């Protein structure tokens, strides 16, 4: 789908009587630096946008003997991080229980029981004593089903239906050296799906196609193509959220790095990529907006973030797990 500029009012009119937006921060065992990032987002975007902290659990989050290594060995390497993570009880104390929403695979599978027939990911976990064990998880690859479940849990906690016009989703290790409100204001309401580097490719080149339902392949894989994108941050309009949610309820599922963008393209919604000027250097094996977690040390990432701020440059930088 091609990008067509649209006003916030136009999309709100299409969505009906919606009001405002929400920003969901997706996290699991965040660091203190991440907590400070969350607090800055809240300070800069509220009250215009409501910030939700979505805490995804794989095991009992109160068990301090469990440290996740599912996200690029985040907690078992001193090269990556030296700080202990923040557990759920502390998040509650800092942000309050109305803002922190807890979800897990069981909750997601209750919303979408047909997903049990789909492939899950094997996720390695590590205890503080060094012993390892593994679990099967769906949340690692099916982000949209996770987000849907988190929003339903948020409604349950609040005791009312969420009626926003759009939803931003922000991954906890994504940093921005500018003002978050200005970043969101630039893009909000200009498309139904906003993400990074969306592009079509032959289905044979999407190695994760098996992480999709037959209904998805029947209804969304058109001309033997899918559409891949990056999702460190995304925006979805209300009408897209509703349509995609209804489709998932009907059994249309896919790995979110191609499922969301593909559904957007083939169903006639408007898509927009985050401008390259808003992203730091993306040069493979060199840049500062990359997917690999071992290119730079976290000390180097932190120093680079501080340098960009001193230079007055507003850019997205990833991954910042320090």
Query: Is pLDDT above 50 for 239?
Result: yes
pTM: 0.87
Q: What is the dihedral of CA 50, 261, 220, 255, to 10 degrees?
A: -80
pLDDT band at 80 (very low <50, low <70, confident <90, very high): very low
Query: Is pLDDT above 70 for 304?
Result: yes
User: What's the mean pLDDT in 123-136?
Assistant: 66
Per the CB < 8 A criterion, the answer to whether 49 and 235 are in contact is: no
What is the token pair recorded at 247? Answer: 């489709």
The pLDDT of residue 85 is 61
Compare 322 and 103 and report the one with higher pLDDT: 103
CB contact set of 109 (below 8 Å; sequence gap of 6+):
115, 116, 138
Query: Is pLDDT above 60 for 76?
Result: no
């Amino acid at each position: 789908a091609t990008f067509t500029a649209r006003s916030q009012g136009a999309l709100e009119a299409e969505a009906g009587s919606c009001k405002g937006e929400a920003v969901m921060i997706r996290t699991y065992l965040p660091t203190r630096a991440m907590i400070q990032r969350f607090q800055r987002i809240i300070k800069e975007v509220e009250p215009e946008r409501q910030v939700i902290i979505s805490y995804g659990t794989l095991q009992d989050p109160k068990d301090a003997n469990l440290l996740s290594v599912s996200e690029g060995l985040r907690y078992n390497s001193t090269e990556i991080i030296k700080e202990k993570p923040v557990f759920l009880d502390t998040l509650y104390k800092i942000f309050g229980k109305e803002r922190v929403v807890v979800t897990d695979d069981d909750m997601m599978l209750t919303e979408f029981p047909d997903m049990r027939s789909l492939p899950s990911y094997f996720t390695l976990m590590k205890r503080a004593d060094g012993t390892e064990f593994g679990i099967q998880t769906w949340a690692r690859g099916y982000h949209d089903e996770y987000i849907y479940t988190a929003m339903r849990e948020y409604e349950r906690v609040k005791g009312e239906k969420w009626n926003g016009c759009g939803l931003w989703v922000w991954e906890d290790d994504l940093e921005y050296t500018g003002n978050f409100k200005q970043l969101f204001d630039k893009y909000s309401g200009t498309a139904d799906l906003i993400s990074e580097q969306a592009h079509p490719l032959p289905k044979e080149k999407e190695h994760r196609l098996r992480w999709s339902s037959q209904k998805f392949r029947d209804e969304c894989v058109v001309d033997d193509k899918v559409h891949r994108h990056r999702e460190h941050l995304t925006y979805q309009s209300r009408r897209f959220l509703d349509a995609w949610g209804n489709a998932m309820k009907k059994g249309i599922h896919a790995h979110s790095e191609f499922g969301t963008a593909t559904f957007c393209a083939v169903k006639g919604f408007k898509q927009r990529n985050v401008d390259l000027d808003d992203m730091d250097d993306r040069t493979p094996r060199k840049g500062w907006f990359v997917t690999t977690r071992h290119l730079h040390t976290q000390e180097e990432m932190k120093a680079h973030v501080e340098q960009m701020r001193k230079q007055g440059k507003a850019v997205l930088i990833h991954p910042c797990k320090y």
